Amino acid sequence: MLILGPIGFTAPWILLGLIVLPILWLLLRAVPPAPIRRRFPGVALLLGLKDEEHQADKTPWWLLLLRSLAIAALIAGFAGPVLNPDPRTAASGPLLVLMDGTWSDARDWPRRIERVEQALDEAARDGRTAALVVLTDRPEGELPFRAAQSWKAQLAGLTPAPWAPEGAADWAARLDGAFDTIWLSDGLAYDWRAEVLTALEARGAVSVFESPRPIYGLRPAAFEDGAIALSLTRARPEGAATVTVAASGLDPNGVERELATAELEFEDGATEAELSLSLPPELRNRVSRFEVIGTRSAGAVTLTDDALKRREVALIAGQDDREGLELLNPTHYIEQALDPVADLLDGSLSEVLLANPDAIVLADVATVPAGQADQLREWVEDGGLLVRFAGPRVAASDLSRDREEPLMPVRLRAGGRSVGGAMSWGEPKTLRAFDADSPFSGLSIPEDVSVNAQVLAEPDPELSDRTIASLADGTPLVTRKRIGAGQVVLFHVTANAEWSSLPLSGLFVSMLERLAVSTRPSQPDAEELAGTTWTIDQRLTAFGQVEEAGTLPGVPGERLAAGEPGPEAPPGLYAGEDRRIALNVVGPETSLTPAIWPARIPVEGLRTSEERSLAGLLLSLGLGLLALDVLAALWLAGRLTGPRAAAVVAALAFMPLGGEVRAQQAAATTDEGFAVDVTSEVTLAHVLTGNPEVDRVAAAGLEGLGQTLFRRTSVEPAAPVGVNVEEDELALLPFLYWPVTADMERPSDEAYAKLNAYLRTGGMILFDTRDADVSSAGGATATSRMLQELARPLDIPPLEQIPDDHVLTRTFYLLQDFPGRHREGTIWVEAAPPGAEEAVEGMPFRDLNDNVTPVVIGGNDWAAAWAVDEQGRRMFPVGRGFAGEQQREIALRFGVNLIMHVLTGNYKSDQVHVPALLDRLGN
């Protein structure tokens, strides 16, 4: 292969053909274009004229150039040009393809696999054996060198792991033998990199491939100052960038979707970007993870755990009668304790129950109304946390006295007790240390917490189990009972400082936290997690997808606290006893540093420059030039004139556009054609129902009606059209016949909008259920139900049965009934406004209902009575004998009246007043 710069030639000897170009140049120069013979009567005038210039007998230089270029392009094209040729130097010996296989690799994993494939292909071509090792999933023992091609089948099964490799340095040190290495680095610096590199270099040549794509790490979201603080880090500080971060979670329907997006701006030179995202509590509690959009990597995803969830707590106080004494307010201290960490709900019990809070605090509430008690109990059973505080009111009431209230953990003794007061003996009691099985275990008890008064629990076999905190003398201070999935907790003291100093202490806040009334601080420390075991609930893949974890062994709390995911503790959401902790790939302290390679190691971007054959390009260029040469030669010879030139130009200009233009024109003409057709003559139309038989009868009926109109009146309608209410323009039609079928499809909302506009602006629809023979008994038929269904979204005014004096009875013929194929059905038209019945000067006509009724509804199957076939014969029999023909005649007259009514509007109803008006004028 001959390589010239970025272009190589596979058959370079063909390029020798370029030598003929100068010869060709001379040859072409010598041969002038062939003359044209022309018949021309004026030739007599030309005789004796000499050519002034003798240039044209040689080919002009630009045409020569064009031809030479064309030939050169063809020659070069046949010489097999290749862009970015791959000058492979055949190497020998085994090849190690080493991949980091971390989450950072995941962002362009397919490209890496492609690169590996390329390396394996090359190795196979050179007859080398190869081994493919992913550092996060290393084979033990010797490197598995085997035929390079056999590795390709395994490529599809390779996946990166969402953690960093461990013990890579030791592994590399154990390697022996001689081999070359291609190392696909994930682009991040690790402490073992240098050691592994040294070990590999000892075995053979090492080349490194790295992706130029940015690496983003999304730190765990934290809750700060009422908003979610997001922080994004990147490996390389070059360049400004805008990154979109999306918050995903379940929506109220349980469907996972993007709940919010925000943009983070990296400034040039900065590796950190911060964002404060303020979301409504409802939305915030639904967020299950944040992710960088457009990056498939576990580092670009951070799962949220309980740390981000703000619990909704409803505070209900017993009686608020002591106005103004804020510090004595039963809920003041709870509010103070919870306000920074939870969302507080106000309102009555029935109201807050609707909001389904996480916890309800009842401060000194003795009685809950009966109806609400049931609701409250249901709510607790569904997992609610009810926290009750004692108080004077509880102590004075009979609450849980004789038998245990469902919503109280224990029975109470009457009156409670007070210790260390002015009227009692003894000292105020302090708290006993918490038991190990108490949720409060481990909390330190401040010295100064003392209890002056409390309600006392009735001794009970279950009392000790239910006590989770007690005073120094063993009397219960906090008791708890589980009900269903929820629990009821009773503090035997008040929620304010009246009975004890507990609410004044930090212990109170911690106790509330432990009870999960409030949110905990974001990340539990190792100490806190010591000795606990967590099971993974949802795991995060290296590609940043969250999937169900299945069954994996539990993870000790210490391991989680370390915050470093590994094979034994994959990143994901871990569930413990009462909370969930997220283990993310990128922790709050993780910093991403780009890998730095020594100068001697060739580092190649992952973008492999693809070999591209230029033969096709050059050949088509050559052919294009030759085609151009044809045109140029024609033009030069003076044959490209007039219409021929115009045709060539037009052909060139419209070649790629032709089809489209034709399609557009066709669409335009059909649309316009429809409008022109239906407006140039009166056109009767029927709605296409989708039932071909019904549509055929409707069309034939309108045809028959049209013929009758043509013969008897000055209305000369064109052939009827069937309209599709979805697509066709209705506004152009004066009248629509709508046969209703039971299985008709409901029009879309847009079609209804069009129909309503049609009815409002003077159109008329004749709905025909075609079932008057069966429906006259008053039963609802399938078609009439369909009609109700169809007509519900239509703006139809109030209807009435057609009155005897309706204008329809006299617009052309005088009619008393309106039969179609059936004669029993009732006809409904727009109701006359109230008061219209009053006769004007004795005239029997209503004068207010002079608008055309927008709908006429009936079931007489008029179309069948009107219908004619192609020969003009009646298609359906009506009735029997002469009476039947009479009925058909009346049906036709009804049709005539109807169309007259539509077309003349109130003219006919006005007309009946004319004699009276003339009479009055005459007098």
Partner 1 sequence: MSDPVTLRSRAERLAAPFPPLLAGARHLAGSVVLGSHGRRRPGHGDEFWQYRTAVQGDEARNIDWRRSGRSDAHFIRQMEWQAAQSVTIWVDTSASMRFASTRNLPEKRFRASELGLALAILLNQAGERFGLMGHDLPARTGELQLMRMAEALERSGPGGEYGAPVAREMPSRSRAVFLSDFLGDIAPARAALTEAADRGVSGMLIQVLDPQEEAFPFDGRTIFESIGGTIRHETLKARDLRGRYLERLAERKAELQGLCRATGWQYSTHHTDHPATSILLWAWSALERVV
List interacting residues with partner 1 (CB under 8 A).
Answer: 32-47, 49, 51-57, 636-639, 641-642
HSE at residue 827, side-chain half, CA atoms within 13 A, is 25
In the bound state with partner 1, the residue whose beta carbon lies nearer, of 270 and 636, is 636
Q: How far is CA 626 from CA 18, 26, 629, in A?
A: 17, 18, 5
In the bound state with partner 1, the residue whose beta carbon lies nearer, of 279 and 637, is 637
Q: How far is the CB of 19 from partner 1 (least distance, A)?
A: 31
Q: How far is the CB of 27 from partner 1 (least distance, A)?
A: 18
Q: How far is the CB of 657 from partner 1 (least distance, A)?
A: 29
In the bound state with partner 1, the residue whose beta carbon lies nearer, of 55 and 923, is 55
Q: How far is the CB of 50 from partner 1 (least distance, A)?
A: 9
3-class SS at 402? coil
Q: How far is the CB of 646 from partner 1 (least distance, A)?
A: 14
Closest to 879 in 3D by CA, of 819, 818, 815: 819
Q: How far is the CB of 43 from partner 1 (least distance, A)?
A: 4
- CA-CA distance, 315 to 348, in Å (whole number)? 9
In the bound state with partner 1, the residue whose beta carbon lies nearer, of 549 and 634, is 634
Quick one: residue 364, left, alpha or beta (phi over 0 = left, psi -120 to 50 = alpha)? left
3-class SS at 215? coil
Q: How far is the CB of 626 from partner 1 (least distance, A)?
A: 20
- CA-CA distance, 616 to 613, in Å (whole number)? 7
Sheet holding 7-9, edge to edge: 2-4, 7-9, 81-83, 612-613
- CA-CA distance, 165 to 567, in Å (whole number)? 9
In the bound state with partner 1, the residue whose beta carbon lies nearer, of 34 and 814, is 34
In the bound state with partner 1, the residue whose beta carbon lies nearer, of 603 and 633, is 633
- CA-CA distance, 889 to 878, in Å (whole number)? 10
Tokens (6 digits) for 667: 């669409």
In the bound state with partner 1, the residue whose beta carbon lies nearer, of 88 and 639, is 639
- CA-CA distance, 272 to 243, in Å (whole number)? 12
Q: Which residues pair with 722 in a beta bridge?
A: 686
Q: Could you give phi then psi for residue 469, rounded to 5 degrees?
A: -150, 145
Q: How far is CA 324 from CA 318, 332, 393, in A?
A: 16, 12, 19
Q: How far is the CB of 125 from partner 1 (least distance, A)?
A: 57
In the bound state with partner 1, the residue whose beta carbon lies nearer, of 12 and 32, is 32
Q: How far is CA 333 from CA 320, 337, 347, in A?
A: 15, 6, 18
Residue 197, burial from CB neighbour count under 10 angstroms (0-12, 13-18, 19+): buried
CB neighbours (10 Å) of residue 678?
22
Q: How far is the CB of 638 from partner 1 (least distance, A)?
A: 3
In the bound state with partner 1, the residue whose beta carbon lies nearer, of 146 and 639, is 639
3-class SS at 306? helix
- CA-CA distance, 467 to 484, in Å (whole number)? 18
Q: How far is the CB of 31 from partner 1 (least distance, A)?
A: 11
Closest to 772 in 3D by CA, of 693, 716, 828, 715: 828
In the bound state with partner 1, the residue whose beta carbon lies nearer, of 49 and 156, is 49
In the bound state with partner 1, the residue whose beta carbon lies nearer, of 59 and 584, is 59
- CA-CA distance, 781 to 769, in Å (whole number)? 9
Q: How far is the CB of 851 from partner 1 (least distance, A)?
A: 60
In the bound state with partner 1, the residue whose beta carbon lies nearer, of 601 and 648, is 648
- CA-CA distance, 354 to 379, in Å (whole number)? 10
Q: How far is the CB of 51 from partner 1 (least distance, A)?
A: 5
Contact 136, 163 (CB under 8 A): yes
In the bound state with partner 1, the residue whose beta carbon lies nearer, of 43 and 814, is 43
The DSSP H or E segment spanning 337 is helix 332-338
- CA-CA distance, 879 to 420, in Å (whole number)? 107
Tokens (6 digits) for 425: 């003996």
Q: How far is the CB of 722 from partner 1 (least distance, A)?
A: 46
Tokens (6 digits) for 159: 């996946």
Q: How far is the CB of 49 from partner 1 (least distance, A)?
A: 5
Q: Could you give phi then psi for residue 134, rounded to 5 degrees?
A: -105, 125
In the bound state with partner 1, the residue whose beta carbon lies nearer, of 55 and 89, is 55
- CA-CA distance, 721 to 731, in Å (whole number)? 14
Tokens (6 digits) for 320: 């608020």
Quick one: residue 623, left, alpha or beta (phi over 0 = left, psi -120 to 50 = alpha)? alpha
In the bound state with partner 1, the residue whose beta carbon lies nearer, of 51 and 321, is 51
Residue 173 per-residue DSSP state: H
Q: How far is the CB of 54 from partner 1 (least distance, A)?
A: 7
Q: Which residue is it, tokens 């309209």?
A: 723
